[in-house]
A and B are shown apart, each in its own frame.
Chain A
Amino acid sequence: MLSMDAFSLYIMFCVLAPLLGAFTLLFLFIFEKRIDLLEKQTREIALQRELQTALYNQLNQEIQPHFLFNTLNSILSLARLERKTELIRSIEALSRLLKFKYQTNSPFITINDELTYIKYYLEIQKIRFRDRLHYEIAMDPSVGQAVIIPFLIQTFVENAFKHSFEKYAGEAFLKIIVEKKEKYVHVTVWNSSSEKHEDQPHKGGLGLENIAKRLELLFSPEHTSIQLTSLNDKTNVLAVFPYVNKNENQGDKRL
């Protein structure tokens, strides 16, 4: 049987327990928004830092002097040949490409924006590679406004040029597929590569690592993945992340 002392303790506990509950609720009401804000700021800082790294990598890897010189030489050839329409288009594409590259500082953009940027890039590469380059972009119209991290597709495409098309002569095929599968967006970049290439498939490297990290920061880690597969004469990169419509999720701290 419960003694008087134990009973007193029990009653004390019963009386004080709701006080603890009420204080917990009060604490939540007062501090939840502040805790959320701190978390959001920490995540934003991390995203900004990763974006800076991405931009740095982009600048290091992509605006390489030889890309710029080759492009300028191709533009010069167009001027010499007096192919005015192509000349204007290529200067315009280069200008837009550089503008987009230097102005993008948001942690996420829409797939439409990313693909517009890719098209400028491919237009310039088309001047360089001429009939060697064949590319195709297939996008599910429903994912146009879906959110993506900047330079995701761009990094994949540039890797294709850097590790395959620029190294080996011959036809260069590139295919970009963006589709929605259930609740996820699947971005596939497929490119042809030389058969000699098979013994040294290119590694993911800093670019893919950076993309994986940024995807995890923007979405939850269990919902994102990046797979790189190199077979005999083709390389395939697949990025999967949740479908989030930009217009519907303006306020969310984590998408």
Chain B
Amino acid sequence: MNRKDYQFYISGAVKLGVSFGVVSLLARWITGNTILSAPETLVKYGITGAIGYSLMGALALVLFGFLAKKIRNNFHNEQTIGDVMRQKLTPSGYWYIMFILLVTSFYSLFIQAMGAGILIHIIFPIPVFIGMILFMGFCFFVGGVSGMQRIHQFSGVNVALIFGAVLLIPVYFYIQAGVHPVYDGIKLYHPYILYFKNMDAIWFIFTALLIFFGQIMMDRATWQRVFIIQKEKVTMTFSLAGGIWATIPLALSSLLMIIMFGRSYKNIYSLLFELVDKIQSTMLIILFVLFCFSAISSAINAELHATTTLFVKNVLELFRPLTNHERWKYSYIFSGIVCVCLLVIVSILTPNPLKLLFFFGNIYASIIIPMLYIILSSKPIPVVIPYSSLIGAAGGFLLIPFTNDLKAIWISFAISGVICLFVYILKKAPIKS
């Protein structure tokens, strides 16, 4: 493939096998979110929540693997989620889904950038702005300018660093301190973590599955990878990526125990980054910092690249046909603007993590059934199907004051599901003449 062709930017030169496919998916899904929401899960739902969180993440990837096979079989020449939506939906439905995709993309990018900002703020004695310029510059170069080939090259390094850190740091600490003092410290300061008979955690686990599945289903970068993994290996790749991914939040939970035992905490979200103060060895500090930056940068790179591709190929090109040169040019401009915006927002706002775990949960939960309908149906999609997610999400948000977050998410899921079921039954019913 010609390196100057825009196809090269979108999908790289080669189809991925299982090993590179798994690495690429891990680089996408071990994110700032995984690092930042792990403490919240552990503190709110205890060990049951931590185990459930990893299992549900894995299960969501495995389930999407089966769907991915269906997607690959049904859509041959598509490259992005936008291509598929354009083929299946009416113009208004298409633009609605594109809007949702772009909003969730920007929010996801913002969360990652905020994570990087917090990390720089805690670790480095330099202004956040300067640190962020370097970090965003790197992400712009890899994710925005270089394209899929370079992202894959960095994915290998990122995943190696992530595994290096989650393997070495817990072993180092538990050998040094032993499990007993950690247990005693947790029992004294945070005994709630050790309670496993927790009904809330069960609710949380199943809701997490719903949100994870919705997130993966709407993820631009994951869809791109569905189309560049070898067709017969798609399901296997997603299943293995799910299994391997589950080990990371588990390892993070063991790291959090090290930080939390025998002390209280000020901010739940930046808890993991405080590990730096606990680590004595310089090599391990460097490894930990590289691990955090790897996880965040690999997610930003994948997300930035996918959003740029989506914007140029599935938004700009619909207004007027673009030449190859123009596609490259607009990709640079768009990704540059996104990076600058993120830089400015993160620099202006005080690095202060937001509520992560269930934010946008209603949107992700309500999109599941409409997306399944869109992907699996071989007939034209009725206009109401994409909008059922809007109704579901709105219904869930409106009910939040009367119920809790988890129930509101299930309500969103149920509303859109019922609408889709209703449409399906109506379409199936024989027409009386």
A102 at the interface (CB under 8 A from B): no
What A residues does B186 contact at CB under 8 A? 7
B247 at the interface (CB under 8 A from A): yes
Chain A contact residues, majority secondary structure? helix
A20 at the interface (CB under 8 A from B): yes
Binds A, one of B131-139, B145-153, B175-183: B175-183
What A residues does B73 contact at CB under 8 A? 222
Which range contains the number of A residues in contact with the other chain?
A: 20 to 34
What B residues does A21 contact at CB under 8 A? 163, 243-244, 247-248
What B residues does A2 contact at CB under 8 A? 47, 194-196
- Residues of B1-36 contacting chain A, CB below 8 A: 17-19, 22-23
Mark each residue of chain A from 24 to 58: 1 if its CB lies under 8 Å from any CB of chain B, else 0.
11001100110010000000000000000000000
What B residues does A15 contact at CB under 8 A? 167, 170-171, 174, 251, 254
Minimum CB distance partner of A17 in chain B? B247
What A residues does B76 contact at CB under 8 A? 183
Residues B19 and A29 in contact, CB atoms below 8 Å apart? yes
Minimum CB distance partner of A4 in chain B? B183
Residues A20 and B247 in contact, CB atoms below 8 Å apart? yes
What A residues does B246 contact at CB under 8 A? 17
Cα separation A25 to B163 with both chains bound (whole Å): 10
Mark each residue of chain B from 65 to 80: 1 if its CB lies under 8 Å from any CB of chain A, else 0.
0000000010010000
Minimum CB distance partner of B48 in chain A? A2
Number of B positions contacting A (CB below 8 A) = 37
Residues B159 and A11 in contact, CB atoms below 8 Å apart? no
B200 at the interface (CB under 8 A from A): no
Mark each residue of chain B from 51 to 77: 1 if its CB lies under 8 Å from any CB of chain A, else 0.
000000000000000000000010010
Residues A1 and B244 in contact, CB atoms below 8 Å apart? no
Cα separation A246 to B243 with both chains bound (whole Å): 37
Residues B167 and A25 in contact, CB atoms below 8 Å apart? no
B419 at the interface (CB under 8 A from A): no
B343 at the interface (CB under 8 A from A): no
Minimum CB distance partner of B237 in chain A? A28
Residues B17 and A32 in contact, CB atoms below 8 Å apart? yes
Cα separation A142 to B175 with both chains bound (whole Å): 67
A254 at the interface (CB under 8 A from B): yes
B408 at the interface (CB under 8 A from A): no
- Residues of B139-164 contacting chain A, CB below 8 A: 159, 163
What B residues does A254 contact at CB under 8 A? 232
Cα separation A239 to B171 with both chains bound (whole Å): 60
A135 at the interface (CB under 8 A from B): no
Q: Shortest 8 CB-CB distances between A and B: which pairs?
A: A14-B254, A28-B19, A17-B247, A21-B244, A21-B247, A2-B194, A18-B247, A14-B250
Beyond the given pairs A17-B250, A18-B251, A25-B244, 5 more chain A to chain B contacts, judged by CB atoms under 8 angstroms and listed by A's residue number, are A11-B254, A19-B167, A22-B167, A32-B18, A222-B73
**Could you pull out 6 A-B pairs where Cβ atoms are within 8 angstroms?**
A2-B196, A18-B166, A24-B240, A25-B22, A25-B159, A25-B244
